[in-house]
């Protein structure tokens, strides 16, 4: 990398990952902390003279955008915490930037032209205090903090602005964590609080926490080893109570579960008596949504590869006789069980997407409607291109700003047979 290189560039667009796009001497430069329309002085952080592109931080704003605001957190900025990408943009601007990214990924990866709108979570006001799950890294001085962007360096902080008040009340950052590699903190929708400590290579000492806080310790493989207090958190969504094991997945925004459940229900509109598949079913949220629609005369098969999440789903939905469960990788279960039919399908794959085998296994069952819940628009674009080769097309898309201040965004895509008339 050129030592201490600083360049002046005009930022013309937005890229997938939370940065602006500029050019310098014909080379693409990905500039963090900048907005489209700005001229900035940027410090090059990655790249050499032979690189096709450079990465850089905007260290001086020469011509600011009308969308620029003062970041609400003192740890947002060049060389500081890497958790938030867009604190320097107003919330409406953040949503426009995310919409632009989604539209660009759909066009570039799937050839789909789509007018995208990113919706706020109802009652969202300032984009702060929403994150109900946090993972802190611990530095060599036993201080909890967050990592710099694209770095293992730990930035000690006093408080995270996007952390939920229940997380902040734990004061993770103010306590020493001797011998710890990382500390996870979670608060449930019912107010339960949980801390999960991951030991490092030396003796550990968990600091004293409030009596109502459950504490778990992991082993060297990241699995929960011991728990003091409750081994799960209680959540509420879709008119039901959910038990989620310590370290298990649940949406990090308090409003996300109900919002996504509603969007999925609208996408596939399950009918009484239908057969439904819930793929990557987690704790069972979308299986419950589908069960409500297909009723007692229908059926829902929930497939999940993580045994802990699959056990949670069985417990959470034990009262729904129309729901059955399979535990194992989704592609393998679908490949082995040809008898699993599907009128409607919901899938919520990991960030990498569903990929070829799962898409083909879905398509060969000829569902009339598919709801694809996507946390990465690039993975969604790639899988939509695969669905197109299998005779399916995108018919609807909703996008939600479930992760304000960051570049992350959640989509719910409705996919139907290509020969179905447009409505």
- 342-355 pLDDT, tens digit per residue, is 999 999 999 999 99
The predicted pLDDT at position 70 comes to 98
**pLDDT of 190 strictly over 70:** yes
What would the pLDDT profile of 278-304 be if each residue is shown by its tens digit? Answer: 999 999 999 999 999 999 999 999 999
**pLDDT range class, residue 2, cuts 50, 70, 90:** low
The predicted pLDDT at position 347 comes to 98
- Residue 148 tokens read as 């710099």
User: Mean of the per-residue pLDDT values for the chain?
Assistant: 96
Question: Taking residues 307-321, what's their average pLDDT?
Answer: 97
The predicted pLDDT at position 422 comes to 61
The residue ranking higher by pLDDT, 379 or 200, is 379
Q: What is the pTM of this model?
A: 0.96
Catalogue the active-site residues: 375
What would the pLDDT profile of 203-223 be if each residue is shown by its tens digit? Answer: 788 899 999 999 999 987 788
The predicted pLDDT at position 223 comes to 85
The predicted pLDDT at position 415 comes to 98
**pLDDT of 329 strictly over 80:** yes
């Amino acid at each position: 990398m050129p030592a201490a290189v600083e360049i002046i560039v005009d930022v013309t667009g937005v890229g997938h990952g939370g940065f602006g796009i500029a050019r310098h001497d014909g080379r693409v430069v990905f500039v963090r902390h900048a907005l489209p329309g700005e001229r900035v002085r940027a410090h090059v952080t990655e790249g050499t003279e032979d690189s096709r592109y450079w990465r850089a931080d905007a260290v001086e704003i020469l011509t600011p955008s009308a969308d620029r605001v003062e970041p609400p957190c003192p740890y947002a900025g060049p060389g500081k915490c890497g958790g938030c990408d867009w604190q320097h943009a107003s919330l409406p601007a953040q949503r426009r930037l995310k919409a632009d990214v989604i539209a660009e990924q759909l066009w570039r990866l799937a050839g789909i032209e789509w007018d995208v709108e990113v919706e706020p979570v109802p009652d969202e006001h300032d984009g702060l205090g929403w994150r109900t799950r946090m993972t802190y890294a611990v530095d060599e001085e036993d201080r909890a903090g967050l990592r710099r962007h694209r770095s293992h360096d730990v930035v000690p902080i006093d408080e995270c602005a996007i952390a939920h008040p229940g997380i902040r009340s734990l004061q993770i950052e103010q306590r020493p964590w001797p011998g710890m590699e990382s500390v996870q903190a979670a608060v449930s929708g019912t107010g339960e609080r949980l801390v999960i400590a991951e030991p490092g290579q030396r003796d550990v000492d968990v600091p004293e926490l409030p009596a109502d806080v459950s504490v778990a310790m992991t082993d060297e493989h990241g699995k929960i080893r011991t728990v003091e207090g409750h081994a799960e958190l209680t959540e509420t969504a879709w008119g039901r109570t959910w038990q989620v094991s310590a370290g298990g997945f649940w949406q990090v925004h308090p409003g996300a579960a109900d919002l996504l459940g509603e969007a999925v229900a609208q996408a596939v509109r399950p009918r009484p008596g239908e057969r439904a598949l819930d793929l990557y079913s987690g704790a069972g949220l979308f299986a419950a949504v589908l069960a409500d629609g297909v009723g007692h005369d229908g059926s829902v098969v929930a497939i999940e590869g993580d045994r802990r999440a699959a056990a949670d789903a069985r417990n959470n939905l034990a009262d729904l006789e129309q729901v059955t469960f399979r535990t194992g990788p989704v592609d393998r279960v679908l490949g082995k069980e040809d008898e699993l039919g599907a009128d409607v399908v919901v899938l919520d794959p990991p960030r990498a997407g569903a990929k070829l085998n799962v898409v083909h296994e879905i398509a060969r069952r000829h569902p009339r409607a598919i709801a694809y819940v996507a946390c990465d628009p690039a993975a969604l674009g790639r899988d939509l291109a695969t669905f197109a080769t299998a005779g399916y097309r995108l018919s609807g898309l909703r996008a939600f700003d479930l992760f304000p201040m960051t570049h992350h965004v959640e989509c719910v895509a409705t996919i139907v047979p290509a020969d179905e008339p447009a409505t």
